[in-house]
């Protein structure tokens, strides 16, 4: 089952976010990040992905780094990975069908574009894929200059896994939604209207003049999933490190022994961390793991 779990208290478990932490907004991975994660594992520590993405939406170049397990869909699923490629499910929280129906009715009643996530992938409501693709295209152009200055290749294929049409989704397998709205108050209104059942947080897609967010069931988040993983592994939260950069990392920061915010994170999020490292392309992950003595 991956690396042998030792009872040596010096072994740490690192939970690491993907977008904005390993991947620079869906396009590039700093070479030092790959080296650092592999070095930490060679040194006997465990490293788990901890992402808002679906398992089926994690870019192959991220998977290729090598991990001991993964928390996906913002905490809805957790698996332990064996060296032989096997997966052992440690947590699974499907959204009750009535909740899914209520959420979709809310989006459609308010003219909000949305994505629904299952373990396998992402399903897009009509019109939303075009908005997202245009946003990522503009962002890639803006970042091309920065990447060239860092000597990194801006032509890396962006990990935009093909969205499937919403008509194809199995509504009994939904675990999370992301919404995009051209109206600036949609996030606040959704929180007010749905907050009795759902956890509504700001998303990580900056929408000029608009708003976007992520919706999961109350109680399903990266922090709750980390606690489930630790229980399955028989490990203590004091041995854990969490590295992230966005609002779906708040609950992770609350449960781990050491919370690390990326240099590009919102200052309010950085204030919740024990340690703030440099940016995603500025050796932020590597610097953090070195400072913590894991590499």
Tens digits of residue pLDDT in 195-234? 999 999 988 776 667 788 999 999 999 999 999 999 999 9
228 in the same domain as 210? no
Residue among 114, 1, 19, 14 nearest 58 (CA): 19
Instruction: Look at residue 159 in the predicted model and tell me its pLDDT.
Output: 46
Regions of the chain with pLDDT less than 50: 1-8, 157, 159-160
* 190 domain-assigned: yes
- Tell me: the pLDDT tens digits for 5-36? 334 458 999 999 999 999 986 678 999 999 99
- CB hemisphere CA count around 32 (13 angstroms): 17
Tally of domains within the chain = 2
pLDDT at position 131 is 74
- What is the token pair recorded at 203? 């998303």
Pull the structure tokens for residue 272: 């919740």
Cα(80)–Cα(100) distance, integer angstroms: 27
Question: Which pLDDT value is given to residue 149?
Answer: 66
Distance of alpha carbon 49 from alpha carbon 18, whole angstroms: 7
pLDDT of 243: 98
With respect to residue 26, please indicate whether it lies within any of the assigned structural domains: yes
Q: The domain containing residue 76 runs over which residues?
A: 13-93+220-291
The confidence score (pLDDT) of residue 52 equals 94
Nearest to 79 by CA among 220, 255, 233, 235: 233
Q: 200 vs 125, 177, 194, CA distance in Å?
A: 19, 10, 8
74: domain CATH number?
3.40.50.1000
Q: Give pLDDT, residue 91.
A: 96
Per-residue pLDDT at 168: 95
E strand intervals along the chain = 13-16, 23-24, 28-29, 46-50, 69-72, 77-81, 87-92, 113-117, 122-124, 164-165, 176-181, 198-202, 211-217, 240-244, 258-261, 275-276
- Residues 210, 238, single domain; the answer is no
Co-location of 164 and 144 in the same domain: yes
Phi and psi angles of residue 48, each rounded to the nearest 5 degrees, phi first: -115, 135
Q: Are residues 213 and 225 both part of a single domain?
A: no
The radius of gyration computed from the CA coordinates of the chain, to the nearest angstrom, equals 18
């Amino acid at each position: 089952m991956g690396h042998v779990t030792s009872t040596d208290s010096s072994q740490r478990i690192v939970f690491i976010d993907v977008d904005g932490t390993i991947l620079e907004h869906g396009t590039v991975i700093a070479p030092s990040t790959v080296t650092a994660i592999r070095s930490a594992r060679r040194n006997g520590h465990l490293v788990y992905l901890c992402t808002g993405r679906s398992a089926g939406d994690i870019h192959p170049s991220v998977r290729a780094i090598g991990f001991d397990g993964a928390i996906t869909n913002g905490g809805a699923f957790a698996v332990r990975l064996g060296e032989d490629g096997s997966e052992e499910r440690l947590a699974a929280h499907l959204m009750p069908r009535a909740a899914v129906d209520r959420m979709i009715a809310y989006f459609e009643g308010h003219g909000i574009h949305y994505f629904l996530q299952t373990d396998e992938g992402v399903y897009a409501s009509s019109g939303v894929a075009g908005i997202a693709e245009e946003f990522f295209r503009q962002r890639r152009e803006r970042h091309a200059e920065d990447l060239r200055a860092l000597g990194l290749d801006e032509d890396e294929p962006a990990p935009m896994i093909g969205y499937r049409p919403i008509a194809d989704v199995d509504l009994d397998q939904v675990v999370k939604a992301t919404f995009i709205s051209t109206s600036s108050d949609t996030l606040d209104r959704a929180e007010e209207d749905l907050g009795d059942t759902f956890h509504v947080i700001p998303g990580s897609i900056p929408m000029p003049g608009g708003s976007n967010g992520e919706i999961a069931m109350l109680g399903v988040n990266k922090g709750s999933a980390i606690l489930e993983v630790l229980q399955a592994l028989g490990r203590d939260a004091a041995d854990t490190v969490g590295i992230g950069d966005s609002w779906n990392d708040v609950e992770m920061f609350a449960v781990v022994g050491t919370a690390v915010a990326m240099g590009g994170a919102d200052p309010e999020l950085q204030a919740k961390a024990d340690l703030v490292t440099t940016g995603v392309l500025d050796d932020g992950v590597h610097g953090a793991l070195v400072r913590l003595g894991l590499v």
